[in-house]
Amino acid sequence: MKLALRADLLDFTATPSWGSPTMDGVRFRPDHWLLVDGGRIVGAGPAATLAPGPDWQRHDHRGRLLLPGFIDTHVHCPQLDVIASWGAGLLDWLETYTFPAEQRFVDPDVAADGAARFLDALLAHGTTAAVVFSTVHSAATDALFAAAQQHGMRLVTGKVLMDRHAPDGLRDDVAGAERDCEALIARWHGQGRNTYAATIRFAVTSTPEQLAMAGELGRRHAGLYMQTHVAENLDEVKWVAALFPEARSYLDVYHRAGLLHERAVLAHGIWLDAHDRALLRETGAHIAHSPSSNLFLGSGLFDWQAARDAGHRVSIASDVGGGTSLSMLRTLAEAYKVQALRGTRLNAWTALHAATRGAAEALGLAHEIGHLGTGTLADLAVWDWSHGPVAGHRDAVARGAVPGLPAQDLHARVFAWMTLGDERNLAATYVAGRLAAGSTRGP
């Protein structure tokens, strides 16, 4: 199918500037046609001069903003059950809310329903690719992979590994976990757009033997990812230090097990030091910053400036259910607030880049997703610039449509959209050129 989408196109060709916003690395093409053939982007051109012929199916979203679909680099499928639960820090959260919710996924029907609900929700929030925690249950991971394959989404996930400090029904053992992982890898890794990740809950819930097994899986299977949590909460950091006294730091626990490499995704990374950040840079591992969750659970304030200075990558993650929304727009607005509390100002370009091209580069997937370059898969989201009277007025001010007020620059308009927007702004989501959520109708 040949598909032509008309909208204001926004993406990135390079890493944008930090601090005061410039247009470096920003590509904005107002009122353009984006051309998609066979699910891949084949070109773009101004609507004033390009007229797609009758063999193109045209979706006219003029006056709307079209971006690459968002990439959520750390989120938990079973935790939609516990999002917005009251009154717990990280360790209490796990015991009180997370573990009971995940125990339900031993039931294949619950797991299948949960996977379908979760992926539909991602798409309804403009997220087209994700790095996802399943549960310890193989059947739940099968259900998640199967649902992603049905949607045609890029998904990185795996069975959660936990052989200690977890309740009955959520613990495995090293040998059994290895057998389960090998079977899941054989069924799903590299099948369509599915990719397997050795998935360690966190160092507390895996013995050194299980961590070593997970590291060996990565060496045994080309292209395998690793996902886990690191240095999210001070109580957690102290517990890890007590369990692994031989390690220099929490991050070093994973390094000793051979788990840090260019496909390693570590959520949070709040309580890291300069040695840790240098290790991330040297190994190619990256931090999935989860600002909504960090604020909600009171975990701390991630130092993005220090990460930038150290030269390691940062992506953006909702971390639902500790996070309070699957909306990456809401998550980016929270990221701005975290950096403001640290005394710096996150610009819209850096934030959006971390949720699109920057995330794709950190995952080694920039050849496929994250920008609107020729040859990439057409994973796209189309957005209304505003929703509701307050945001509508703010957008009118930014574009100079209010008498007596001058037009502002593009960054001011995009920042207002990012700060005031959420899933209600979403007009349509496309996965490989196929409408997956929303409508093809224009504004």
Query: 82 and 126 share a domain?
Result: yes
pLDDT, residue 46, reads 98
pLDDT, residue 30, reads 97
pLDDT, residue 412, reads 97
Residues 413, 116: Cα–Cα separation, whole Å = 35
Query: 400 and 379 share a domain?
Result: yes
Residues 74, 151: Cα–Cα separation, whole Å = 19
Query: 265 and 340 share a domain?
Result: yes
Residues 303, 186: Cα–Cα separation, whole Å = 39
Query: 306 and 329 share a domain?
Result: yes
Domain of 330 in residue numbering reads as: 70-362
Q: Confirm if 379 and 129 have CB atoms less than 8 A apart.
A: yes
Query: 61 and 74 share a domain?
Result: no
Task: Give the residue from 334, 362, 390 where a domain finishes.
Answer: 362
**Structural domain includes residue 312:** yes
Residues 378, 11: Cα–Cα separation, whole Å = 13
Task: Give the residue from 362, 395, 425 where a domain finishes.
Answer: 362
Q: What pLDDT tens digit does each residue of the chain (443 aa) get?
A: 899 999 999 999 999 999 999 999 999 999 999 999 999 999 999 999 999 999 999 999 999 999 999 999 999 999 999 999 998 788 888 889 999 999 999 999 999 999 999 999 999 999 999 999 999 999 999 999 999 999 999 999 999 999 999 999 999 999 999 999 999 999 999 999 999 999 999 999 999 999 999 999 999 999 999 999 999 999 999 999 999 999 999 999 999 999 999 999 999 999 999 999 999 999 999 999 999 999 999 999 999 999 999 999 999 999 999 999 999 999 999 999 999 999 999 999 999 999 999 999 999 999 999 999 999 999 999 999 999 999 999 999 999 999 999 999 999 999 999 999 999 999 999 999 999 999 888 78
Query: 403 and 260 share a domain?
Result: no
Query: 409 and 291 share a domain?
Result: no
What CATH number is given to the structural domain containing 33?
A: 2.30.40.10
Query: 76 and 65 share a domain?
Result: no
**Structural domain includes residue 96:** yes
If we measure between CA atoms, which residue out of 390, 323, 335 comes closest to residue 359? 335
* Position 98, amino acid: T
Query: 218 and 315 share a domain?
Result: yes
Query: 338 and 404 share a domain?
Result: no
The count of domains in the chain is 2
The rounded Cα 420 to chain-centroid distance in angstroms is 20
**Structural domain includes residue 443:** no
pLDDT, residue 40, reads 98
Residues 332, 292: Cα–Cα separation, whole Å = 9
Query: 55 and 82 share a domain?
Result: no
pLDDT, residue 440, reads 81
Residues 119, 108: Cα–Cα separation, whole Å = 17
Query: 237 and 327 share a domain?
Result: yes
∠ at Cα 419 (414, 421), nearest 5°? 85
What CATH number is given to the structural domain containing 269?
A: 3.20.20.140
pLDDT, residue 90, reads 84
Q: Confirm if 206 and 170 have CB atoms less than 8 A apart.
A: no
If we measure between CA atoms, which residue out of 363, 369, 160, 155 comes closest to residue 264? 363
Torsion 434-438-439-443 (CA) sign: negative
Sequence-distant (6+) residues with CB within 8 A of 98 are: 76, 79, 82, 321
Burial class of 441 by CB neighbour count within 10 A (0 to 12, 13 to 18, 19+): exposed
pTM: 0.97
Task: Give the residue from 362, 382, 398 where a domain finishes.
Answer: 362
